[in-house]
Amino acid sequence: MKFPSGPAPDPAGSRTEHRIRSFHARRGRITQAQAAAIDRHWAQWGVELDGSPLDLAGLFGSAELPVVLEIGFGMGDATAQMAAADPSRGILAVDVHTPGQGNLLMLAERDGLTNVRVANGDAIVLLRDMLPPASLAGLRVYFPDPWPKAKHHKRRLIQPSFLALVTPLLAPGAVVHCATDWEPYAEQMLEVLEAAPGLANRYPAGGPHGGTGYAPRPDFRPMTKFERQGLAKGHVVHDLLFTRV
């Protein structure tokens, strides 16, 4: 389904840019309710990641609202729950799945959420070209594609090059929160985050609480569909919490 005034298939013209990506753009089947939500709200709450500088204060209507970036929100259920639980914080939620974009807009409308904006496109374009330094109050990456085959590990999102883009955009004290149910990816995440300049583990291995480097599951992160699926398969979920210093 095409949306003349909704999310574009390739907002940054990335087909001409040769770079390994951690995602595949997906349209997928969309319900009438999701499509209607896009038609009603994309002009106000949607953001195209086209490389143009982004004014977060103008986007959210307040220079005082701290903004957290969430990359990969699926169908948006957890995002909507977190936005409802903390209206004092804005969430800029990025994904390329049109049904999920429509669903999150539908949830935001249903619950009266004014602190959610839905971004369409490549998050790397956003990080590289669109945000000023120290403009984000946090980063959330929950259950990203683990790309389990060894030949695909280069496609994983959490890499040194990704954190080199993210870290300068985080304000002091901002929290990077990752979660995965894929053990080898959790180990890579921990290794890469530990080595990233400017980030400190809030639960370091061998710390005062005998930590392993992984964080206890925070109460503010709702259970996601992917998490439930992983737990049903016997996977162990790992959270990682790092602070911008």
The DSSP result for 72-118, as a single string, is --TTSHHHHHHHHH-TTSEEEEEE-BHHHHHHHHHHHHHHT--SEEE
Encode 183-225 in three state secondary structure.
HHHHHHHHHHHHHCCCEEECCCCCCCCCCCCCECCCCCCCCCH
Phi first, then psi: give them for residue 244, nearest 5 degrees: -75, 125
Confirm if 157 and 22 have CB atoms less than 8 A apart: yes
Confirm if 198 and 245 have CB atoms less than 8 A apart: yes
Cβ neighbours around 55 below 10 Å, total: 13
Confirm if 179 and 208 have CB atoms less than 8 A apart: no
Beta-carbon contacts of residue 28 (< 8 Å; ≥ 6 apart): 97, 98, 99
* Residue numbers annotated as active site: 145
